[in-house]
Amino acid sequence: MLASFVAMVVLAACTGTTTETDSGSGAKKNSGSTGSSSGSAGGPAIDGQPQGPYDVRTDGKLTIGWVELTADCQSCVKALAEFRSFIEDNDYDWTVETLDSKGDADGAARAIEDFTTRKVDVIVTAFVVLKASGAAIDGANAAKIPVFSLDSGWSPGVVGDVTTNNFDMAAQIAAYLADSLGGNGNVVSIWSDQHYGVVIRQEMLENITKSRYPGIKILGSKNVTLAGYYQESIDAAENFVSRFGDEIDAVYCGFDEPCMAAAEVFEKAGLDVPMFGFDGHQQALGEIRGGDGTSGLVATMAQQFGPFATTVGQWINSILVEGKPVNEVIPVPEVYLPAKLITPLNVPAEGEDGWTVPGYYDVVSGQAELK
Distance CA 79, CA 5 (A): 32
What confidence category does residue 72 fall into, taking pLDDT thresholds of 50, 70 and 90? confident
Per-residue DSSP letters for 174-220? HHHHHHHTTT-EEEEEEE-TTSHHHHHHHHHHHHHHHHT-TTEEEEE
pLDDT digits 0-9 by tens, 213-252: 999 999 999 999 988 899 999 999 999 999 999 999 999 9
Q: Do β-strands 94-100 and 19-23 pair in parallel, antiparallel, or remain unpaired?
A: antiparallel
Grade residue 6 by pLDDT with cuts at 50, 70 and 90. Answer: very low
Tens of pLDDT, residue by residue over 14-25, are: 433 344 444 443
Tell me how far CA of residue 242 lies from CA of 162, 218, 239, 296, in angstroms: 40, 16, 5, 18
315-354 tens-digit pLDDT = 999 999 999 999 999 999 999 999 999 999 999 999 999 9
pLDDT score at 368? 67
Q: How far apart are CA 247 and CA 186, in angstroms?
A: 7
- C-alpha distances (whole Å) from 146 to each of 34, 114, 260, 316 are 20, 14, 38, 9
Instruction: Quickly count: other Cβ atoms within 10 Å of residue 263's Cβ.
Output: 22
pLDDT tens digits along 272-306? 999 999 999 999 999 999 988 888 999 999 999 99
- Mean pLDDT throughout 159-175? 96
pLDDT for residue 73: 85
Alpha carbons 280 and 136: distance in angstroms, whole number: 32
* 251-279 average pLDDT score: 96
The tens digit of pLDDT for each residue in 179-188 reads 999 999 999 9
Q: Which residues pair with 191 in a beta bridge?
A: 223
CA–centroid distance for 162 within its chain: 9
Distance CA 282, CA 308 (A): 17
pLDDT, one tens digit per residue, over 81-127 is: 999 999 999 999 999 999 999 888 899 999 999 999 999 999 999 99
d(Cα 279, Cα 342) in Å, to the nearest integer? 10
The chain-wide mean pLDDT, for the chain, equals 88
The CA distance from 146 to 109, in Å, is 15
- By the 8 A CB rule, do 152 and 81 touch? no
**In angstroms, what CA-CA distances link 121 with 55, 106, 271?**
9, 22, 53
Collapsing DSSP states into helix, strand and coil, what is residue 226? coil
Cβ neighbours of 5 (radius 10 Å): 14
Q: Which region among 42-46, 150-154, 282-286 has the lowest average model confidence (pLDDT)?
A: 42-46
What residues pair up with 19 in beta bridges, in sequence order?
Answer: 99
Share of the chain above pLDDT 90, in %: 77
Name the band, by pLDDT with cuts 50, 70 and 90, for residue 38. Answer: very low
Confidence at residue 371, expressed as pLDDT on a 0 to 100 scale? 55
How distant, in Å, are the alpha carbons of 5, 71, 76, 122, 188 from that of 18? Answer: 45, 9, 15, 19, 36
Are the beta carbons of 193 and 199 closer than 8 angstroms?
A: yes
pLDDT band of residue 369 (cuts 50, 70, 90) is low
C-alpha separations of 304 from 65, 309, 319, 365, 368 in Å: 22, 9, 23, 23, 20
Q: Is 202 exposed, middle or buried (0-12, 13-18, 19+ CB in 10 A)?
A: buried
- What pLDDT does residue 243 have? 97
> In angstroms, rounded to a whole number, what is the distance separating the alpha carbons of residues 330 and 324?
10
Concatenated DSSP letters for 100-116? E-TT-HHHHHHHHHHHH
pLDDT band at 58 (very low <50, low <70, confident <90, very high): confident
Q: What is the pLDDT of residue 275?
A: 97
Give the distance between the most distant pair of CA atoms in the chain.
70
Residue 66 contacts residue 312 (beta carbons within 8 Å): no
